[in-house]
């Protein structure tokens, strides 16, 4: 069954996406390490880290797309899962500092010495082991999503209500992690990392490796998502998105379908956070800011939700724009971001990918010289099957007034 | 020591023993006051003591400044003329008339020296005199002075004053002062001290607990239980007042939440539009207030006290107009797609914030509170600031007005009709787009009103709205969408709960707990406290 799912997943366009990111995972580090600086084709180390950051964001956007684009759950709390994964990674990195901290304590991180801790809090135990920490990266966001989702979906908290309570969850976590006595470094967070798996996080080769790991993780995420959405479960997810009550009346356990999607998505977000932290070098409570979670939503929306490639494109494009704006026109960035939100929701409900399909469909129709038929064309049926709204192909993509 | 104390007692009590009532005191001005003051200049300490007693015995208010100055070391002798003068700052005053005196170039001033014993005598004499003063306010101050510095030597004085006292308030204060003195005096009989305990507990106000606690240290065994039970009683009383104070703070916070959320209850509750830019409407209302006050201060300074009242309609119109603009420009394209509305209005909120930041700068702006909103009052044990008080009143007024608009006006009727069945309403001739725009404008306008109120308790910064948006959504969701009463109950409940959790859990943890409780509550009742029932819900 698994092989069948694998083949079905690889049968689609997804294989190209996976191949591209695997190639990127090899080529970029090579361009960084093997081509000497100054020569054509060399990728500077800072750029490798920056692109690694974007790819981590892309995983996060893909994770959100799995619940929002395919299952209709708009989570405004994915930033929290991302940050939790990041904190788990940060805790491991903190423990690796050892006695090289400012206070030279072999066990306690600096901020704990500063706050007069006598011993490690229980939740820091074992975080010096890499594999245990990686387990926590997966386990903590997964468990939170499972428990939260279990109760929320069981009591049929849907739509806007769910969005608002996920936002409340993020906000509560933001407040909690800002407290010094939580044992997570308060508002300074965790930073000043030294080693990862025995090698320096600052080293060029480590950065290249981290980039490769992120790119491979993204490729794997695409594979996993493709497997999910192309399976029968994926069809049910799309059914839940489009007509939840109807799906329930057909006999499906809607809450479990949603819980599955939500938990898998949270785990992906946690992994993205864990890959993000060593490349950026800091994790602090501002990652829990509800605004961040909403920003993730706009990446997904810009790229095109309900597609696998869309959120990746969206995350990379929006963050490229952010990097460009914040260096050249910092005061205009929020205008641009805000306008992006408004413009995308009004004119690009299917995102960049939808726009592409629209243009492609129009071109093809023109060559066929055919009127747009009332029943969906075979191509459209395939798209419907893949979970893409046929509305994005015709002129109906334009928003309609309320009446 | 004992002799000295006895002597002082006699000395102090002497004038009052001689002059048993206020009535005859006025006639008996046996001492020549100016002569006595004149004599102070050359007197030694012993003679000074006598003069002070004599002056006190006159009972005349005119000697109070002299005695006060002597006690404070501000009384000077001008050696050349032999005049006695009071120093105040750099001027010298004639002691009886209080007129400033021009000093000649050859003036030679020397301070009239007093020692600690004399200073105490003066203080006691002054207190005694003021205790017998004709003005009740003055007597009250004197009694409070005795209460703050109990001295067993003053008991006869107090007894005297209590006997002559006619004003009930002053009498209570004097009795409390006497009781405090007796309680603190080891030489009094246990029965007397026991009898004093309830008087202390009831009369000594805020200090009662401290006084009783210090009396408990070293109290004889028979006395201790009485004091302990009085302390327990006081502490219970204090706990009740503390709880009431918390309720007040909670109501005050709740009314702020209500103001912030009630506009949202219209746009989200009635229209089903998730307006993430609602917080920015609040912020724009606050900035409108700021501008109105700026204009008034520059052009009509006389109206400054009313600037908030003037700002109210301005803020309503400004934010209402912006709201109508948003509805016409963006939201009407997104009806039936609530999650998209959320994103679009979030983007809008970023734009509005950044616009305000570009115009006014990122720093906080100030709105001055009008005089009738500053200060506070004591209401029994509660301290109530006028600012908070008016916000509570204002929130209630806004709530009632809104309720009236929705239930008693044609627009309200149309709004409800469109909410319940858009197509039917349209078929009946209601201009639904117009009603949509008006509803959204109303919700936004009320957010602007909230902004005016918030200028009194919060900083006016571009981020003002951000601090309230999540709370507002919590209130609306908790109270139940589409129900104004739910919003009222939700806001007040959350406000009070927040303030009650704060002392135990701290402000931040309290807030986290509230958020977690709301998340859990939504599991139990996914549609809030007062959920709409029926088919309309599932749309």
- Which residues have a Cβ under 8 Å from the Cβ of A26 and sit 6 or more positions away? A212
Q: Which of B71, B104, B131 is the last residue of a domain?
A: B131
Does some domain include residue B10?
yes
Residue among B335, B351, B509 minimizing CB distance to A338: B351
Paired residues of B110 in beta bridges: B77
Other CB atoms within a 10 A radius of the CB of residue A36 amount to 7
Paired residues of B382 in beta bridges: B379
Chain B neighbors of A74, CB-CB under 8 A: 339, 342
pLDDT confidence of residue A249 = 94
The reply to whether B343 and B259 lie within a common domain is: yes
Cβ of residue B261 closer than 8 Å to a chain A Cβ: no
In chain B, positions 185-204, which contact chain A (CB-CB < 8 Å)? Answer: none
Task: Please check whether residue A65 is in contact with residue A306, taking contact to mean a CB–CB distance below 8 angstroms.
Answer: yes
The DSSP symbol for B300 reads: -
Q: Which of B278, B330, B347 should be substituted to probe chain A, the one whose Cβ sees the most A Cβ atoms within 10 Å? A: B347
pLDDT tens-place string over residues A108-124: 888 888 888 888 888 99
Does some domain include residue B17?
yes
Q: Which of A168, A186, A244, A291 should be substituted to probe chain B, the one whose Cβ sees the most B Cβ atoms within 10 Å? A: A168
Interface contact B349-A157, CB threshold 8 A: no
Tokens 């409940």 correspond to what residue?
B493
Considering its fold, how many domains does chain A have in total?
1
**Rg for chain A (alpha carbons), in Å?**
22
Cβ of residue B515 closer than 8 Å to a chain A Cβ: yes
pLDDT confidence of residue B479 = 86
Cβ of residue B483 closer than 8 Å to a chain A Cβ: no
Q: Which of B416, B438, B469 is the last residue of a domain?
A: B469
Q: What share of chain B is helix, strand, coil (3-state, %, to 5)?
A: 70, 5, 25
Interface contact A156-B426, CB threshold 8 A: no
Do you know the residue count of chain B?
539
Residue among A334, A339, A345 minimizing CB distance to B340: A345
C-alpha closest to that of B319 among B361, B294, B358, B291: B291
Chain A residue with the nearest C-alpha to that of B425: A403
Type and span of the H or E element at B91: strand B91-93
C-alpha closest to that of B442 among B289, B270, B295: B270
Task: Please check whether residue B258 is in contact with residue B493, taking contact to mean a CB–CB distance below 8 angstroms.
Answer: no
The reply to whether B85 and B34 lie within a common domain is: yes
Does some domain include residue B142?
yes
The reply to whether B335 and B202 lie within a common domain is: no
H helices of B431-483, in order, are 432-454, 466-479
Chain B neighbors of A345, CB-CB under 8 A: 334, 340-341, 343-344, 347
Burial of A375 by CB count in 10 Å (0-12 exposed, 13-18 middle, 19+ buried)?
A: exposed
CA of B448 vs chain A CAs: smallest distance (Å): 21
Interface contact A342-B436, CB threshold 8 A: no
Does some domain include residue B539?
no
Residue numbers in chain A where pLDDT is lower than 50: 371-403
CA of A223 vs chain B CAs: smallest distance (Å): 28
Interface contact B354-A331, CB threshold 8 A: yes
H helices of B62-154, in order, are 64-72, 116-131, 136-148
pLDDT confidence of residue A238 = 94
Type and span of the H or E element at A353: helix A351-368
Does some domain include residue B516?
no
> Cα–Cα distance between B296 and B304 in angstroms, integer?
6
Residue among B334, B432, B509 minimizing CB distance to A403: B432
Chain A residue with the nearest C-alpha to that of B277: A338
Q: What share of chain A is helix, strand, coil (3-state, %, to 5)?
A: 75, 0, 25
> Cα–Cα distance between B18 and B40 in angstroms, integer?
23
CB-defined contacts A:B, below 8 A? 135
CA of A380 vs chain B CAs: smallest distance (Å): 23
DSSP B344-367: HHHHHHHHHHHHHHHHH-SS-B--
Does some domain include residue A359?
no
Interface contact A165-B477, CB threshold 8 A: yes
CA of A371 vs chain B CAs: smallest distance (Å): 28
Task: Please check whether residue B194 is in contact with residue B182, taking contact to mean a CB–CB distance below 8 angstroms.
Answer: no
Task: Please check whether residue B528 is in contact with residue B474, taking contact to mean a CB–CB distance below 8 angstroms.
Answer: no
Does some domain include residue A124?
yes
Please give the mean pLDDT across all residues of chain B: 81
The reply to whether B367 and B295 lie within a common domain is: yes
Tokens 């400004």 correspond to what residue?
B318
Does some domain include residue B482?
no
C-alpha closest to that of A344 among A302, A297, A391: A302
Task: Please check whether residue B471 is in contact with residue B510, taking contact to mean a CB–CB distance below 8 angstroms.
Answer: no
> Cα–Cα distance between A376 and B151 in angstroms, integer?
101
> Cα–Cα distance between B361 and B260 in angstroms, integer?
24
Other CB atoms within a 10 A radius of the CB of residue B373 amount to 17
> Cα–Cα distance between B187 and B184 in angstroms, integer?
9
C-alpha closest to that of A396 among A353, A363, A354: A354
What region, left, alpha or beta, does residue B352 occupy, with left being phi > 0 and alpha being psi -120 to 50 degrees? alpha
Does some domain include residue B55?
yes
Chain A neighbors of B355, CB-CB under 8 A: 335
Considering its fold, how many domains does chain B have in total?
3
Question: Which token pair is B46?
Answer: 């012993």
Interface contact B347-A342, CB threshold 8 A: yes
Task: Please check whether residue A273 is in contact with residue A82, taking contact to mean a CB–CB distance below 8 angstroms.
Answer: yes
Other CB atoms within a 10 A radius of the CB of residue B383 amount to 10
Interface contact A345-B519, CB threshold 8 A: no
C-alpha closest to that of B319 among B405, B446, B456: B446
The reply to whether B256 and B382 lie within a common domain is: yes
Type and span of the H or E element at B325: helix B307-329
> Cα–Cα distance between B525 and B70 in angstroms, integer?
75
Other CB atoms within a 10 A radius of the CB of residue B59 amount to 20
DSSP B164-228: H---HHHHHHHHHHHHHHHHH-TTS-HHHHHHHHHHHHHHSGGGHHHHHHHHHTT--TTTHHHHH
In chain B, positions 421-440, which contact chain A (CB-CB < 8 Å)? Answer: 422, 426, 432-433, 436
C-alpha closest to that of B475 among B260, B182, B202: B260
The reply to whether B212 and B264 lie within a common domain is: no
The reply to whether B146 and B90 lie within a common domain is: no
Task: Please check whether residue A274 is in contact with residue A34, taking contact to mean a CB–CB distance below 8 angstroms.
Answer: no
What region, left, alpha or beta, does residue B43 occupy, with left being phi > 0 and alpha being psi -120 to 50 degrees? beta
Q: Which of B275, B334, B338, B339 should be substituted to probe chain A, the one whose Cβ sees the most A Cβ atoms within 10 Å? A: B339
> Cα–Cα distance between B20 and A207 in angstroms, integer?
98
CA of A65 vs chain B CAs: smallest distance (Å): 14
Does some domain include residue A161?
yes
Cβ of residue B539 closer than 8 Å to a chain A Cβ: no
Question: Which token pair is A34?
Answer: 């093997």
> Cα–Cα distance between B214 and B413 in angstroms, integer?
67
Coil, helix or strand at residue A361: helix
pLDDT tens-place string over residues B194-230: 777 777 777 766 677 777 777 777 677 777 788 888 8
CA of B523 vs chain A CAs: smallest distance (Å): 5
What does each of the 539 residues of chain B score in pLDDT, given as a tens digit? Answer: 555 555 555 455 544 444 444 434 444 445 677 777 777 777 777 788 888 777 777 767 677 777 777 777 778 887 777 778 887 777 777 777 777 777 776 677 777 777 777 777 777 777 777 777 777 777 777 777 777 777 777 777 777 778 777 777 778 777 777 777 777 777 777 777 777 777 777 776 667 777 777 777 767 777 778 888 888 888 888 888 888 888 888 898 899 899 989 988 888 877 778 888 999 999 999 999 999 999 999 998 888 888 889 999 999 999 999 999 999 999 888 887 877 888 899 999 999 999 999 999 888 888 888 888 888 877 766 778 888 889 999 999 999 999 999 899 999 999 888 887 888 989 999 998 999 899 999 999 999 999 999 898 888 999 888 888 888 888 888 888 777 888 999 999 999 998 888 888 778 888 889 888 888 888 888 777 877 655 444 44
Do you know the residue count of chain A?
403
The reply to whether B102 and B139 lie within a common domain is: no
Interface contact A342-B330, CB threshold 8 A: yes
The reply to whether B87 and B201 lie within a common domain is: no
Does some domain include residue A318?
no
Burial of B520 by CB count in 10 Å (0-12 exposed, 13-18 middle, 19+ buried)?
A: exposed
C-alpha closest to that of A295 among A340, A352, A346, A355: A340
The reply to whether B16 and B47 lie within a common domain is: yes
Domain that holds residue B217: 135-222
Q: Which of B66, B98, B131 is the last residue of a domain?
A: B131
Task: Please check whether residue B226 is in contact with residue B241, taking contact to mean a CB–CB distance below 8 angstroms.
Answer: no
pLDDT confidence of residue B368 = 84
Chain A neighbors of B354, CB-CB under 8 A: 331, 334-335, 338
> Cα–Cα distance between A41 and B168 in angstroms, integer?
96
Interface contact A152-B350, CB threshold 8 A: no
The vertex-B97 CA angle with B96 and B103, nearest 5°, equals: 95
The reply to whether B83 and B162 lie within a common domain is: no
Does some domain include residue B185?
yes
Q: How far apart are the first and last CA of chain B?
A: 92
The reply to whether B97 and B161 lie within a common domain is: no
pLDDT confidence of residue B24 = 41
Interface contact A168-B515, CB threshold 8 A: yes
Interface contact A178-B508, CB threshold 8 A: yes
Does some domain include residue A345?
no
DSSP A114-143: HTT-SS--GGGTTTTSHHHHHHHHHHHHHH
Paired residues of A282 in beta bridges: A191
Does some domain include residue A390?
no
In chain B, positions 322-361, which contact chain A (CB-CB < 8 Å)? Answer: 330, 332-344, 346-355, 358
pLDDT confidence of residue B31 = 62
């Amino acid at each position: 069954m698994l092989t069948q799912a694998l083949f079905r997943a690889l049968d689609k366009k997804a294989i190209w996406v996976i191949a591209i990111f695997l190639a990127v995972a090899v080529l970029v580090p090579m361009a960084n390490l093997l081509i000497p600086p100054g020569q054509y084709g060399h990728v500077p180390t800072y750029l490798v880290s920056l692109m690694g950051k974007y790819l981590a964001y892309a995983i996060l956007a893909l994770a959100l797309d799995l619940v929002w684009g395919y299952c209709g759950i708009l989570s405004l709390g994915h930033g929290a899962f991302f940050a939790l994964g990041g904190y788990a990674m940060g805790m491991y990195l903190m423990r690796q500092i050892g006695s090289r901290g400012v206070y030279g304590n072999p066990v306690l991180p600096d901020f704990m010495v500063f706050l007069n801790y006598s011993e490690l809090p229980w939740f820091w135990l074992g975080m010096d082991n890499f594999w245990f920490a990686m387990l926590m990266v997966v386990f903590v966001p997964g468990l939170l999503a499972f428990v939260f989702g279990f109760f929320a979906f069981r009591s049929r908290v849907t739509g806007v209500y769910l969005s608002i309570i996920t936002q409340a969850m993020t906000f509560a976590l933001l407040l909690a992690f800002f407290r010094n006595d939580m044992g997570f470094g308060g508002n300074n967070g965790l930073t000043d990392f030294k080693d990862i798996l025995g090698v320096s996080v600052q080293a060029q080769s480590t950065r290249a490796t981290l980039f490769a790991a992120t790119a491979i993780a993204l490729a794997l995420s695409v594979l996993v998502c493709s497997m999910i959405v192309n399976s029968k479960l994926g069809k049910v997810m799309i059914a839940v998105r489009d007509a939840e009550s109807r799906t329930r009346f057909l006999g499906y356990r809607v809450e479990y379908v949603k819980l599955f999607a939500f938990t898998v998505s949270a785990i992906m977000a946690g992994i993205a956070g864990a890959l993000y932290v060593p490349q950026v070098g800091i994790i602090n409570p501002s990652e829990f800011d509800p605004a961040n979670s909403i920003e993730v939503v706009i990446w997904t929306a810009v790229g095109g939700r309900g597609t696998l490639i869309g959120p990746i494109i969206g995350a990379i494009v929006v963050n490229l724009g952010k990097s460009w704006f914040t260096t050249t026109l910092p005061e205009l960035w929020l205008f641009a971001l805000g306008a992006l939100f408004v413009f995308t929701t009004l004119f690009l409900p299917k995102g960049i990918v939808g726009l592409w399909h629209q243009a492609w469909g129009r071109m093809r129709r023109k060559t066929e010289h055919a009127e747009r038929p009332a029943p969906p064309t075979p191509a459209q049926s395939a798209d419907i099957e893949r979970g893409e709204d046929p509305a994005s192909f015709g002129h109906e993509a334009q928003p309609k007034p309320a009446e | 020591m004992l002799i000295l104390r006895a002597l002082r007692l006699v000395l102090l009590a002497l004038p009052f023993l001689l002059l048993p009532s206020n009535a005859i005191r006025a006639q008996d001005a046996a001492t020549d006051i100016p002569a006595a003051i004149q004599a102070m200049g050359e007197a030694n300490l012993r003679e000074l003591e006598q003069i002070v007693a004599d002056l006190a015995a006159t009972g005349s208010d005119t000697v109070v400044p002299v005695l006060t100055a002597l006690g404070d070391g501000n009384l000077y002798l001008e050696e050349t003329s032999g005049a006695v003068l009071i120093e105040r700052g750099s001027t010298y005053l004639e002691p009886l008339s209080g007129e400033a005196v021009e000093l000649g170039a050859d003036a030679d001033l020397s301070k009239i020296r007093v020692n600690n014993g004399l200073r105490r005598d003066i203080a006691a004499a002054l207190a005694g005199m003021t205790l017998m003063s004709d003005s009740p306010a003055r007597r009250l101050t004197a009694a409070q002075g005795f209460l703050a510095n109990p001295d067993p030597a003053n008991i006869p004085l107090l007894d005297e004053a209590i006997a002559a006292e006619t004003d009930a308030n002053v009498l209570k204060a004097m009795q409390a002062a006497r009781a405090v003195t007796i309680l603190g005096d080891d030489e009094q009989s246990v029965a007397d001290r026991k009898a004093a305990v309830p008087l202390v507990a009831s009369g000594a106000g805020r200090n009662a607990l401290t006084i009783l606690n210090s009396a408990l240290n070293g109290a004889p065994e028979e006395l201790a239980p009485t004091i302990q039970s009085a302390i327990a009683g006081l502490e219970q009383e204090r706990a009740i007042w503390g709880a009431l104070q918390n309720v007040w703070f909670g109501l005050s916070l709740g009314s702020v939440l209500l103001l912030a959320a009630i506009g949202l209850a219209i746009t989200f509750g009635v229209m089903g539009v998730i307006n993430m830019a609602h917080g920015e409407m609040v912020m724009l209302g606050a900035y409108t207030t700021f501008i109105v006050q700026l204009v008034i201060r520059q052009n009509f300074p006389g109206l400054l006290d009313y600037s908030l009242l003037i700002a109210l309609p301005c803020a309503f119109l400004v934010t209402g107009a912006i709201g109508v603009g948003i509805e016409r420009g963006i939201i009407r394209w997104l009806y039936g797609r609530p999650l998209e509305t959320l994103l679009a209005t979030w983007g809008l909120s970023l734009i509005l914030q950044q616009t305000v930041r570009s115009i006014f700068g990122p720093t906080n702006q100030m709105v001055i509170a009008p005089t009738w909103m500053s200060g506070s009052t004591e209401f029994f044990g509660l301290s109530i600031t006028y600012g908070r008080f008016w916000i509570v009143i204002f929130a209630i007024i806004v709530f009632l007005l809104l309720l009236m608009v929705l239930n008693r006006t044609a627009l309200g009727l149309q709004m409800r009709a469109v909410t319940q069945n858009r197509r039917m309403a349209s078929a009946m001739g209601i201009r639904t787009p117009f009603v949509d725009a008006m509803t959204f404008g109303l919700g936004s306008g009320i957010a602007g009103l909230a902004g005016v109120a918030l200028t009194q308790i919060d900083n006016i910064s571009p981020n003002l709205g951000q601090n309230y948006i999540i709370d507002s959504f919590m209130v609306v969701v908790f109270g139940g969408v589409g129900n104004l009463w739910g919003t009222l109950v939700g806001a007040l409940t959350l406000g009070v709960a927040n303030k009650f959790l704060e002392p135990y859990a701290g402000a931040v943890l309290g807030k986290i707990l509230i958020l977690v409780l709301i998340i859990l509550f939504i599991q139990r009742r996914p549609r809030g406290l007062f959920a709409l029932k029926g088919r309309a819900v599932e749309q």
